[in-house]
Structure 1
């Protein structure tokens, strides 16, 4: 995992530069995104300890066991996910979406959600 610059500021990405998200319905390290949710928002899973790359705070990295028994990576207590709509490294098309009962956000280096600032290119005002 690493922290990279994006149109939303410096955000958390995987080793290949793909954007990672948190799900606001997750109020603990236990994931609440399963079945259809996990198809749209695949969890970042691992078979070993997660590794902190550039800009990542190693003490914020962790893991949690998913309902299917796989090991999901957490950061600052948030289970981490990809968005199936992101087609290439650097895409952030899942930012701010309200799906499966809550909103999804990219994370900053401190492991907190990044909210859009001001009017964006998709903002009609």
Structure 2
């Protein structure tokens, strides 16, 4: 019974599975984060680096330890996820999905930091014309209700599929 309650609470904390398709959502950054629960300090601390003056700075993607090993993180110490419903770089998370799982957007070329493989880092265009960061050919997302340093939604099913944190080799974490 306790296991069912834990699973139910995890599912609730990671959004609903309504799969609704609403109008495109700009959702370019995570919702206001809450404080870190455990204060473990395992989240990244690096900030975006600067690029050439003639080009806008790209979003920095870095690595740091988590309960799932070394995984990718975006700005603001937000862990990033991939979605099993996106087998290619074409984004499929829009509407309600993009409200719960905001895309990791960039204004310039994304910047690889830590153990991030620059060769796996890329971009894709969203329907609204914004540029989303990809890794190993998969669009990256935040979970809107996680605070800095939190990893609450790995291997959780919402919006019709599982969400996973991603390792530096471009695979989902175990």
TM tier relative to shorter chain: 0.7 to 0.9
Once the two structures are superposed, the pairs formed by residues 1-125 of structure 1 within 5 Å of their partners are 1-88=61-148, 90-115=149-174
- Name the structure with the higher helix share: 2
TM-score norm. by structure 2 comes to: 0.64
Question: Deviation per CA, 1:41-66, whole angstroms, max 9, x where unpaired?
Answer: 00000010000011110000100001
Task: Name the CA distance, whole Å, in 2 between partners of 1:85 and 1:110.
Answer: 26
Q: Deviations for 1:68-88, whole angstroms, at most 9, x for unmatched residues?
A: 111000000010000012122
Question: How many matched pairs?
Answer: 114
CA–CA distance in structure 2, aligned partners of residues 4 and 36 of structure 1? 29
State how far apart, in whole Å, the 1-side matches of 2:127 and 2:75 are: 25
Once residues 85 and 76 of structure 1 are traced to their aligned partners in structure 2, the CA distance between those partners, rounded to angstroms, is 25
Superposition CA RMSD, Å: 0.9
Paired with 2:82 and 2:159, the residues of 1 have a C-alpha distance of 13
